[in-house]
């Protein structure tokens, strides 16, 4: 297998199109999110089966609070339900991490997240990163704040701040940059997803709504990625 046929190490997915999927069926938007949460489960398990190392899902952005209270609380309920299944995930060898400003989330969800991270920390299968109350700019700002605090306390010399130092303060910490970003639903935007981490990412945009996304869709995106030539600024 040539190098270009290797699996990407880290895939990011923008789960878009839940609302339109529901609308097409004359259903409330939250039915779309429920279907989207099921797709999320299927794709997470499939990624583990094929041996992917890191998979990051954009679950809830810092901008999503603008949606109706009903829609926001519907998404929180789906998240709670998922977190309550975590015991099963530990058995599946899937590791879970949460990226974002988690302090702004309901207290019970924060506790469940901590528990899920702890229970799955030794898993060696795929690492799922769930970006929740996440924004790429907010990620960079919180990293800068941490560094400035350290500098103020005399624990960090500004001259020591390299890209490699900086990146460790991002929510992604030691996780390698994202190689492939998949956005279904026919929109062609990054929407404040992994801004720093996607500097050299390949993008695959797909004309399918997230609830209809299948393991074969992931295969198709990976196959497209494998045919791209990545040069990282070289020749």
The footprint of ligand FPP (CB under 6 A) covers 15-20, 33, 36-37, 40, 59, 64, 75, 78-79, 82
Catalytic pick among 18, 38, 48, 64:
64
> For residue 4, what is the DSSP state?
G
- Closer by beta carbon to ligand FPP, 40 or else 99: 40
Catalytic annotation present for 64: yes
> Treating both helix axes as pointing N-terminal to C-terminal, what angle do 69-84 and 29-50 enclose, rounded to 10 degrees?
30
Closest chain position to ligand FPP (CB): 19
Contact 172, 194 (CB under 8 A): yes
- Closer by beta carbon to ligand FPP, 203 or else 210: 210
Q: In the complex, what is the shortest distance from the CB of residue 235 to ligand FPP, in angstroms, rounded to a whole number? A: 38
Q: In the complex, what is the shortest distance from the CB of residue 23 to ligand FPP, in angstroms, rounded to a whole number? A: 7
In angstroms, rounded to a whole number, what is the distance separating the alpha carbons of residues 39 and 43? 6
Contact residues for 45 (Cβ-Cβ < 8 A; gap 6+): 92, 94
Q: In the complex, what is the shortest distance from the CB of residue 52 to ligand FPP, in angstroms, rounded to a whole number? A: 17
Catalytic annotation present for 133: no
In angstroms, rounded to a whole number, what is the distance separating the alpha carbons of residues 186 and 94? 30
- Closer by beta carbon to ligand FPP, 78 or else 126: 78
Contact residues for 125 (Cβ-Cβ < 8 A; gap 6+): 48, 92, 93, 94, 95
Residues assigned a catalytic role:
16, 64
């Amino acid at each position: 297998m040539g190098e270009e046929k290797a699996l990407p190490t880290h895939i990011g997915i923008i789960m878009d199109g839940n609302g339109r999927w529901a609308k097409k069926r004359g259903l409330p938007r939250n039915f779309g999110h429920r279907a989207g949460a099921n797709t999320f489960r299927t794709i997470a398990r499939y990624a583990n089966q094929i041996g992917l190392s890191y998979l990051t899902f954009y679950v809830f952005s810092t901008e999503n609070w603008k949606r109706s209270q009903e829609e926001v609380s519907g998404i929180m309920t789906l998240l709670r339900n998922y977190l309550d299944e975590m015991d099963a995930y530990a058995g599946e060898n899937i590791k879970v991490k949460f990226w974002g400003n988690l302090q702004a989330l309901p207290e019970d969800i924060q506790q469940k997240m901590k528990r899920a991270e702890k229970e799955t920390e030794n898993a060696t299968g795929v690492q799922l990163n769930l970006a929740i109350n996440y924004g790429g700019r907010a990620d960079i700002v919180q990293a800068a704040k941490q560094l400035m605090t350290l500098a103020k306390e005399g624990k960090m010399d500004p001259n020591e701040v390299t890209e490699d130092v900086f990146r460790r303060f991002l929510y992604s910490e030691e996780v390698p940059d994202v190689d492939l970003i998949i956005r279904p639903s026919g929109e062609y935007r990054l929407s404040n997803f992994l801004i720093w981490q996607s500097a050299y990412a390949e993008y695959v945009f797909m004309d399918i709504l997230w609830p209809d996304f299948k393991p074969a869709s992931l295969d198709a995106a990976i196959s497209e990625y494998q045919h791209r030539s990545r040069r990282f600024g070289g020749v």
